[in-house]
Amino acid sequence: MPVTKVLTEGIGEVDMRGIDAYRARGGYKQWERAVREMQPVDVLNLAEKSGLRGRGGAGFPTGRKWSFLPKDKLLRYLVCNCDEAEPGTFKDHMLLEKTPHLVIEGMLIGAYAIASHHAFIYIRGEFRRGYEIFCAALEEAKRAGYIGKNIFGSGFDLELTVHRGAGAYICGEETALLNSLEGKRGEPRLKPPFPAVEGLYGMPTVVNNVETLAYLVPILERGAQWFAAVGTERSKGYKIVSVSGHVRNPGNYEIALGTTIRELIEIAGGLRPGRKLMAVQPGGGSSACVFEEHLDWPYDYESLAKAGSMLGSGAMVVFDDTTDFVKAAYNLVRFFAHESCGQCTPCREGGDWMARVLNRLVNYRGVPGDIQMLLRVSSGITGLNLCPLGDSIEPFLKSVMLRFPDQFESRILAPQAQPA
C-alpha cells in the first residue's frame, strides 16, 4: 500500500520532541546549510522548482506566493498558520506535538527564503498541549543558537514569536489571523491589498500552513527534483491526509499525491465489515462529497476539482450506509453558522436560517418547500461573501441533498400533519 513517511517518519515510534533526538536524525542541518551556503533567493527557487503548493487549503504554489513580496520593502514577516480548525483536519497539531523542531526548522527556512527577520506562529487556543511542547522546543532551539542574532556567525538575525488564538475557526483565514495577531477582532480583511503587499502591521507578509513549511526541510535535504518527481502533473509531492469517519483505522496518513481515493480508504483500514460506502468528503468541512464512481480517481488538486469538490486541507471523511446525511449536513451548517464572523449578511443570516430549517428536518418536522428553499438559499449565499467561509456552507449540503433526496424528503411532514 503506498503509504510514505517523510514528515511523519518516526512519529509513533520515536520521541522526537527533544532537540537531541531531532538532531540525531539530521535535524537543523538544512537550516544550517541554508544560512551558510545559500542565498534566500536560492531557497525560494528551490521551493518553486519542487512544485510545492500550500497545504492549508487553497493549494497555491508556495514559491510563487513568496515571489509576490515587494522587493523594495525590507521589513517583512512570515506567519505560520497553526489554527487548524477545519472539521476533520488533525495533521498540523500532530506535527506540532510530535515533531515540533521540524515545524521550527521549516519556519526558519521559510523566513530565510523571504528574507524575513521575524517569524510568528499562530496556534489554535485549544492546542494547549501542542503549544507547551512547541514552546519547550523553541527554548531549546534558541539556546542552541538556531534562532536569535548572528545565526551561525552569518550576520543573519531571526526572531520567532508564538501567539495563541482563542478558538475561532475564522482566525484560520489568513487576514482574520493577521487581525487577531495584531490584537484586533478576528475578522477577515477586504482583499486586495493581499498580505504579500500589506499584511501584519501593514507590512508585506507571507502566511503559510504548518505542513507547507515543514516540507521545506526534506525538499532542501533531498532536492526539488525528488519532490517534483512524485505526484501528478500539477499536484507534486507528498501530503498528509487526515482520514476519519467510517473507516477501521482513522488517522493521519502521508501519501504521494495521486494515490486513489480507494487506496486511501484501504490504507485507513477500509470500511467496517458488511458496510457499504455512500460518500466521501475529501477536503475538509468546506468540500462537497464525491461518490462511488470517483473511488478510482487520483487524490490530487485537479482531479478533485474536476469531480466538483476540492482537496482543501486534506481531511477526508468517509460515510457508510449507516449515515444520516440530514444530521451530518445540519452538524456542518450549524458549525459554519456559529463560526461566521458576521460581517457579511448572506453568511451571517443565510447560514443561521439554513441551520434552523435543517434542525426542523432532523426532527422530522420539515414543511413542504423546505428542500427547495435550502437549495435556493444555499446557492444564494455562495459567491457573495468577503471570505470563503460563507461559500463553505453550500458544497456538502448540496452534494448530499442531490445524491440522497429520500433522506431529506422523508423528514417532511405530510400536509395533514402540519401544525395549524
C-alpha distance from residue 227 to each of 151, 217, 218, 310, 390 (Å): 28, 11, 9, 22, 34
Out of ligand FMN, ligand SF4, none, what residue 86 binds, judged by CB under 5 to 8 A for its kind, is ligand FMN
Q: Which residue, among 209, 252, 254, 178, has the nearest Cα to 82 in the 3D structure?
A: 209
Cross-strand bridge partners of residue 290: 280
Q: Does 90 bind ligand FMN (CB under 6 A)?
A: no
Q: Does 207 bind ligand FMN (CB under 6 A)?
A: yes
Out of ligand SF4, ligand FMN, none, what residue 348 binds, judged by CB under 5 to 8 A for its kind, is ligand SF4
Part of the chain binding ligand FMN (CB under 6 A), chosen from 21-29, 78-86, 141-149, 269-277: 78-86
Out of ligand FMN, ligand SF4, none, what residue 56 binds, judged by CB under 5 to 8 A for its kind, is ligand FMN
Contact 333, 350 (CB under 8 A): no
Cross-strand bridge partners of residue 163: 122
Half-sphere exposure of 343 toward its Cβ, with a 13 Å CA cutoff? 16
Q: Does 209 bind ligand FMN (CB under 6 A)?
A: yes
CB of 389 to ligand SF4, least distance (A): 4
Instruction: Compute the distance between CA of residue 54 and CA of residue 198 in angstroms, rounded to an integer.
Output: 20
Q: Does 83 bind ligand FMN (CB under 6 A)?
A: yes
Contacting residue, 99, 116, 212, 309, with ligand FMN by CB under 6 A: 212
Instruction: Give the nearer residue to ligand SF4 in terms of CB position, either 69 or 386.
Output: 386
Q: Does 27 bind ligand FMN (CB under 6 A)?
A: no
Instruction: Give the nearer residue to ligand FMN in terms of CB position, either 304 or 326.
Output: 304
Contact 208, 233 (CB under 8 A): no
Whose cell is 487553497? That residue is 58
Query: For the chain, what is the radius of gyration of the CA atoms?
Result: 22
Site for ligand FMN in 367-406 (CB under 6 A): 387-389
Instruction: Compute the distance between CA of residue 386 and CA of residue 192 in angstroms, rounded to an integer.
Output: 11
C-alpha distance from residue 165 to each of 85, 173, 178, 331, 343 (Å): 11, 12, 11, 23, 20
DSSP 1: -
Instruction: Give the nearer residue to ligand FMN in terms of CB position, either 392 or 407.
Output: 392
CB of 358 to ligand SF4, least distance (A): 18
CB of 81 to ligand FMN, least distance (A): 4
Three-state secondary structure call for residue 351: helix
* Residues engaged in binding ligand SF4 (CB under 6 A): 170, 188, 340-344, 347-348, 385-387, 389-390
Contacting residue, 50, 179, 180, 208, with ligand FMN by CB under 6 A: 208
With 0-12 / 13-18 / 19 or more C-beta atoms within 10 angstroms meaning exposed / middle / buried, residue 322 is exposed
Out of ligand SF4, ligand FMN, none, what residue 58 binds, judged by CB under 5 to 8 A for its kind, is ligand FMN
Which x/- pattern over 155-194 shows residues binding ligand FMN (rule: CB under 6 A)? Answer: --------------xx-xxx--------------------
Contacting residue, 58, 162, 367, 413, with ligand FMN by CB under 6 A: 58
Contact 367, 413 (CB under 8 A): yes
Instruction: Give the nearer residue to ligand FMN in terms of CB position, either 54 or 245.
Output: 54
Q: Does 340 bind ligand FMN (CB under 6 A)?
A: no
DSSP 3-state percent helix, strand, coil across the chain (nearest 5): 45, 15, 40
Half-sphere exposure of 16 toward its Cβ, with a 13 Å CA cutoff? 26
Residues that bind ligand FMN (CB under 6 A): 54-58, 60, 65, 81, 83-86, 169-170, 172-174, 207-209, 212, 387-389
